Amino acid sequence: MPPVRRPIPLVLSVCALIGAVTALPIMAAAQSSEPGARARAPAPTPPPTSRRTLSRPVEDNAGTLSKESQPDGIVPSAGVQLYERMGATLPPLPPEKPYTGQIDEAYGDYQRGLYETALSKALTKASAGDAASQTLVATMMMRGFGIKRDAKTAAFWYRQAAERGDPPAMFEYALLLMSGRYVEQDKKKADDFMHKAAEAGNSSAQFNWGQIVVSENPGERGLQLALPYYEKSAEQGVADAQYAVAQLYNTLKGLAPEKKSQARYWLERAAKAGFDTAQLDMGLWYVNGVAGPQDYDKGFQWMRIAAYRGNVVAQNKLAHLYVEALGTRPDPVEAAKWYVLSRRAGLQDPYLEDFYLGIEDDQQKQAIDRANKFRRG
């Protein structure tokens, strides 16, 4: 099969455009030692209708529904703030569509791992002004493929390709300009290239331009302005954009009913792409009946997936599901195991601490043993 010309896979890594964003908030409680270290207290018996535990801690003014508007004080999750994923490596993009354009031999060699051959061919065309070849040369130099890593020269080639309008190069060069690494920092020029790359259809740039719009236009107006870029990026398979679309479809006012009805669809796409925060929220949405019917079984399944991926909040909530037998049978040992794991990671929970201290000694030991053997899935 002849080699084809496809966009070079890019890792979204964007420097912070605003002040540092705090990590996912955790529930505050008094400090205590390893679970089980205190004298035993009787385990509380929550009323069957209590669902207070199944809402994730959220930032103030995060656009959540108020407690007063929810039965029994339930607060559905509003998700992490949209800025929070800036600077993080995103889940992989979906398989690319078949390419029917002009064959690029240099890129074909690059795909097969023939880096020195690819670089030689790409340099020839890059020197003649071919933007796509300049981007390929820049990428190989930045990563040290077929040549010793040379970030400054890579930045030069990214600039050449960006100025010639190559979308992937505009995106990469914008990131360099934002961070000031290997080039002089220039936010205005970075924004310009990021915007152009987004308008040219680069999915990574579309998501990040949405982030920039939100950061520079606080409040609902910024979210409204950013939504079209998130939507375009989401359509191309960027899981973070799919997550953002789901959250905005669920919370923004004035959206068409057909968009609001798709909030859960986009969240599920992000969850299926392996984004553990989306998996956590998928569980919370099903358990709380957010943006669709309530389904404890599906809520438990998604919460379990996120917990096994190492999401600390999901581990905490999964413990609650086991305690309250929502979507599963009651299992004090499994509940205690997940509590121990989340507690060790720093998420304190007085309710689960009391539950843990109220179970039998052998159940505590089993839970600790299971927690010690836990390996992320």
Q: 169, 131 in Cβ contact below 8 A?
A: yes
Per-residue pLDDT tens, the chain, 377 aa: give them. 333 333 322 223 222 222 222 222 222 222 333 444 433 333 333 333 333 335 443 333 333 323 333 333 333 444 445 445 544 455 565 565 665 667 789 999 999 999 999 999 999 999 999 999 999 999 999 999 999 999 999 999 999 999 999 999 999 999 999 999 999 999 999 999 999 999 999 999 999 999 999 999 989 999 999 999 999 999 999 999 999 999 999 999 999 999 999 999 999 999 999 999 999 999 999 999 999 999 999 999 999 999 999 999 999 999 999 999 999 999 999 999 999 999 999 999 999 999 999 999 999 999 999 999 999 87
Could you give the CA distance from residue 259 to residue 41 in angstroms, rounded to a whole number? 49
Amino acid at 312: V
Give the Cα separation of 222 and 235 in Å (integer).
20
User: Does 313 map to a domain?
Assistant: no
Which residue range forms the structural domain that includes residue 130? 105-200
Q: What pLDDT was estimated at residue 55?
A: 44
**Amino acid 94: pLDDT:** 59
- Helix ranges (H only) for 252-311 are 257-260, 263-272, 276-288, 296-308
What tokens appear for 219 in the block? 């409040």
Instruction: Kindly state whether residue 365 falls inside one of the protein's structural domains.
Output: no
Note whether residue 350 is domain-resident. no
Asked, for residue 373, whether it belongs to a domain, the answer is no
Give me the number of domains the chain comprises: 1
Angle at 160 between CA 157 and CA 163, to 5 degrees: 145
113: CATH: 1.25.40.10
- Whether residue 114 lies inside any domain: the answer is yes
Decide if 347 is inside a domain.
Answer: no
Asked if residues 170 and 202 have their Cβ atoms less than 8 Å apart, the reply is: yes
- For residue 289, the tally of other CB atoms under 10 A from its CB is 16
Identify the CA nearest to 108 among candidates 100, 99, 98, 118: 118
Whether residue 9 lies inside any domain: the answer is: no
State how far the Cα of 303 lies from the Cα of 185, in Å rounded to an integer: 42
Whether 273 maps to a domain, the answer reads: no
